[in-house]
Amino acid sequence: MIPELMIALSIGAALFGIGLYGALSQTNLVMIIMGVELVLSAALLNMVAFWRYLHPDVTAAKMYVLIVMAVMAVEMTVGFGIAVARFRSRGSVEMEEARELKG
Amino acid sequence: MTLAIILFALALGCYLIAVLEDWAVHGRLDPLRPAVSALALLGREQVLPRKSDRLFFEVGPVLLLVAGLLAVAVIPLAPGLIVTDLATGALFLNAALAYVLVALIMAGWGPNGAYAMIGGWRFLGQFVAYAMLIVMTITAVAMRAESLSTTEIVTSQAALWNVFYQPIGFVLFVIAAMGLAWLPPIDLPTGGGDLAGGVEAEYTGARLAVLRLARLVIVLALASATATFYLGGWLGPWLPAWAWTAAKTLAVAAAMLFLGRHLPRLREARYLAVSWKLGIPLALANIILVGVIALVVPI
Amino acid sequence: MSVAQALFLIFFGAAAVWFGIVVFRTHSMVRSAIALLFSQTAVGAMFLVMQAEFLGVLQIMMMATEMSVMAIFMVMFMMDPGGMGKMDMTHQKRLSLWAGGIGLVAALAVIWGAGWTGPVPPVPGAAEQAAALGRELLGRSMFIFEAAALMILTAMVAATMVAIAPREEDD
């Protein structure tokens, strides 16, 4: 039983829950990206907590955190690229209106 | 005790920089002028714009001040005279200064005024133009010191100051610092000519006093960072350590305040183009050059 | 030390969760982006509490700029960025609440059900950590690091290609 680890992981879980709610409930693409960012930050928090309280001598864990940070930036870049393209062609990034791919 | 000395030095430094700026702008040296202006600002009416985002309006200047103070916290005044000697001090300086951007966006968005909002977003648009230059030049400095700690960076310059070791980095850092502290000729977020005060336009009274004070702290932080990273910090003969730091910081601040006044204000697009197309490749070349020198010549 | 660490973790964690909730509760989109920024900053502060100094400072630095960029995209793409009209920007609220709640409960159950045991090993100093991370990046994990760099480059090119305005044909 490591209380600090439990606290950090519980907060990670809470951030994950909020992010999941946001990503599913928002209608705007930018807000959905914000939800995904929250989920990813929860993942970051968990990784740092595991590194600190279980394996502080393994540096590869921190490298993985760096990679996830890069993924966050990439996710934002690509998401906003799509948002710009969609806004230009359709005039909005509301996901309720994006039904072109629906069968 | 250390904290009290540093706070006193900070207050004194801000006041001296205010005197210097007044001298640069109005062309006369008046040591009492900033005190009088500050008292006048505190006594003035505080106008609250209509339909403002009250929270951002109030928090913006304070966050700017906090960012400046955090940046100062990792700058050594003398051996041992530092608030926190972080092992990642040089990176922490960047992190603190990144919040200048956030504070300006908040201060620009808050008052619900067109000029203020354009000023705030314009600062975001310039972000890569100054931030990349600061980060990349600090990378080269840290490469020579083989450490991110600011005290180690100072001691690494015992044989030769970084200004001679990596002059390209020095020039780029000072220019980027002027962009970050919105000093002329790149004072685009508050440009007097085209934005009528920009971010500062809607602030009055005590809030404007906080905003101006925060700006002075940021100028001081950047000047002392230049002294630490490139001019050997407290290193120097005869005088005590703190006096060298103070003299170098004030000299850099004076240079930044006076030199830019004689140039026409840069247009935003031109600033971005120069910074992206010339500044960033030069900064990368600087990193390679410093790496090669550090490997080949042991200084 | 351990009690202080736990208390600071709770404090910054509560701040992170609170700002995370504010993100989806406020009507003003700029406020929403800045709230996300402060949530991430609180997470960075938690890294600092957990003695991962380099990562904490890096998180605090990167998120400031990332979320500012988020804010301007909000202003560009939303009909009512200031939140004056109090528009409802949500759909399938019940489903999302259930999904978020179930995710939270499942994660909590795993966390509190698993038996984390053992003494916490000592942590190397911040300077050694940074040096070790550098050796890791340019040593054993260099290939992954390079792959990440390529990934960023690809994303940059792809995003620019997608976002660039289609050129009008001259003829």
pLDDT tens-digit profile of C21-64? 988 888 788 888 889 999 999 999 999 998 888 999 999 998 88
**In chain C, which residue's Cα lies nearest the Cα of A44?**
C43
C11 shares its domain with C68: yes
Residues of C in contact with B112 (CB under 8 A): 82
Nearest residue to B252 (alpha-carbon basis) of B20, B97, B23, B9: B20
Query: Angle formed by the axes of helices A29-53 and C53-77, to 10°?
Result: 170
pLDDT given at position C170: 60
Task: Tell me if chain B has a CB within 8 Å of the CB of C28.
Answer: yes
Q: How far A101 CA lies from chain C's nearest CA (Å)?
A: 18
Helices (H), chain B: 2-26, 33-43, 54-72, 89-109, 114-125, 127-145, 150-155, 162-165, 167-180, 192-195, 205-230, 241-259, 268-274, 280-296
In order, the DSSP letters of B8-32 are: HHHHHHHHHHHHHHHHHHHS---TT
Instruction: Determine the average pLDDT of the residues in A32-48.
Output: 91
pLDDT (tens digit, 9 = 90+) per residue, B113-141? 788 888 888 888 888 888 889 999 999 99
More confident residue, B128 or B94: B94
CB contact under 8 A, C53 and B88: yes
Q: Does domain A3-97 have CATH number 1.20.1370.20?
A: no
Q: Is C135 helix (H, G, I), strand (E, B) or coil?
A: helix
Task: Decide if A26 touches C, using CB distance below 8 A.
Answer: yes
Per domain, the residue ranges of chain B are: 2-296
C78 and C1 assigned to the same domain = yes
Partner B contacted by C58 (CB < 8 A)? yes
pLDDT averaged over every residue in chain C: 85
ipTM over 0.95: no
Dist CA B291 CA B296 (whole Å)? 9
Do residue C63 and residue C136 come from a single domain? no
Cβ-based neighbours of B282, under 8 Å, separated by 6 or more: B168, B172
Residue A78, Ramachandran bin (φ over 0: left; ψ between -120 and 50: alpha; else beta)? alpha
Q: Does residue C61 belong to any structural domain of this protein?
A: yes
Q: If you average pLDDT over residues B263-278, what whole number do you get? A: 86
Whether residue B218 contacts residue B71, with contact meaning beta carbons closer than 8 Å, is answered with yes
The pLDDT score that the predictor gives to residue A42 is 92
What is residue A103's predicted lDDT score, i.e. its pLDDT? 66
Between C167 and B64, residue with greater pLDDT:
B64
Q: Residue C121: is the preceding peptide bond cis (ω within 30°)?
A: no
As a whole number, the mean pLDDT across chain B is 86
In a domain, C95, yes or no: no
Is the per-residue pLDDT at C106 higher than 70? Answer: yes
Most A CBs within 10 Å: which of C21, C23, C144, as the mutation test of the A interface? C23
- Is residue C121 assigned to a domain? no
Name which residue leads in pLDDT, A45 or A100.
A45
Q: Determine, for residues C78 and A30 on separate chains, whether the beta-carbon distance falls below 8 Å.
A: yes
C90: in domain: no
pLDDT tens, B149-208?
888 888 888 888 888 888 899 999 998 998 888 888 887 777 767 777 777 777 888 888
Tokens of B153: 């960076």
More confident residue, B81 or A32: A32
| Chain C contacts in chain A segment 46-75 (CB below 8 A) | 48-49, 51-57, 59-60, 62-63, 65-67, 69-74
Asked whether the predicted pLDDT for residue C171 surpasses 60, the reply is: no
Instruction: Find the mean pLDDT for residues B246-270.
Output: 86
Decide if B19 touches C, using CB distance below 8 A. Answer: no
Q: Which tokens go with B240?
A: 């005590």
pLDDT at position C87 over 80 = no
Are B86 and B92 within 8 A, CB to CB? yes
Residues C72 and C143 in one domain: no
Which chain C residues touch B148 with a CB distance below 8 Å?
Answer: 130
Inspect the interface and report whether the beta carbons of B95 and C71 lie closer than 8 Å: no
Tell me the residue range of the domain where C18 lies. Answer: 1-82
